[in-house]
Amino acid sequence: MPREPILSAADHQQDDPSPSTTASSASREEDTALRPKRMEDMVGQREVYERIKIAVDAARIRKEPLGHVLLDGPPGLGKTTFAMCIPTALEVPLQIASGAALAAPKDLLPYLSNAEEGSILFIDEIHRLPKTVEEFMYPAMEDFRIDITLGEGVSARTVNMALRPFTLIGATTRTGLLSAPLRDRFQIREHLEFYDNPDLTEIVRRNAAKLQIEIDDESALKIACCSRGTPRVANNRLRWVRDYATSRADGKITLEVANRALTMLAVDIRGLDGQDRKYLETILRVFNGGPVGVEAVAHTLNTATDTLTDEVEPFLLRAELVVRTPRGRKLTAAGYEHLGVPPPDDLGQTTFFDELDPDDETT
């Protein structure tokens, strides 16, 4: 039988939780209930699944630790799900940490010293590791040892501590922020892609059954088409439609119910929400369709620039509703069409280099 995972301290609740803590705990429990427990049960990402499955099977046959794994891709595509399913397939313990919480090498010591033979250490948001922690991990990943400095000044001495061989799984949404030495220490590197509508429809169907709500195929497809190619968004949309069906309908999700629920949520047919449309409308109304710098758009919307570059723009760029140019963001013909406005006659007069933004660090 698979070993029970060793969870991080943040996963343990207080003995007397507050109402907000109870609500967040219930939400996490529901997220866990929707997440597949085995890689075989995952929908989509089949090429990534096949490659990881081969590596896992080989490690089990050889009875060796799995090579270190780096999973990258936009949020909500299944990086954590893979990281949770791999230990189950290997029947080994799992420890979970966050890169943002590992502020110093001493914060990493308990995880490394507690790692059992062949166990998994999963570090989410690994790109947020400080440089000192990252360098501390190099010998741990390569030679399964760490160097601990005891004392200070002339009396300081370094103690070499051997570790039991383990596997590090890192998840990141921004691979470019990882240093080359750290990236090179991962034997398995996989990039997760956005999902197509058939896969998302199947995810919605399965999770509707887990949530004990009846849904028809048309409604599942409708929710999938409005989910921006992301299972996490699909699950959030499904939960909202379920709540709407429970409150305003007979507890069943039909196409009419799904349409009404998504309309109330201000989600349109392409999956854009109110913030997405405000972004497009601001570029159109205030800046005449662009080009305009993202900082100017952020100030106009009274929103942080990071919110636009990390949350809003990735999907709009992928949907080809906006483009980045050396002079800033600019609406495309599809963007004008989505806003119901005819594009200007000179919109197409751009060169290949106009579509690039070489000075933009987020490109």
Active-site residue set: 79-80, 124, 173, 232
Query: Which residues have CB under 8 Å from 338's CB, separation 6+?
Result: 270, 272, 280, 321
| Helical residues (DSSP H) of 167-216, grouped into ranges | 180-184, 197-210
C-alpha pair distances (Å), 329 with each of 86, 207, 347, 359 = 40, 37, 13, 13
**What tokens does 236 get?**
């959030």
Which one-letter DSSP state was computed for residue 214? E
Question: Taking the CB of residue 85, how many other CB atoms lie within 10 A of it?
Answer: 22
Residue type, 199: D
Nearest Cα residue to 169 out of 109, 85, 113, 253 = 85
| Alpha-carbon span 136 to 134, nearest angstrom | 5
Which one-letter DSSP state was computed for residue 178? S
Question: Taking the CB of residue 92, how many other CB atoms lie within 10 A of it?
Answer: 23
Nearest Cα residue to 273 out of 316, 209, 318 = 316
Query: Which residues have CB under 8 Å from 291's CB, separation 6+?
Result: 325, 327, 328, 329, 330
**What tokens does 260 get?**
């009404």
| Alpha-carbon span 63 to 360, nearest angstrom | 46
**What tokens does 184 get?**
């090179």
C-alpha pair distances (Å), 166 with each of 54, 118, 195, 221 = 18, 5, 31, 41
Q: 113 near 196, Cβ under 8 Å?
A: no
| Alpha-carbon span 107 to 353, nearest angstrom | 46
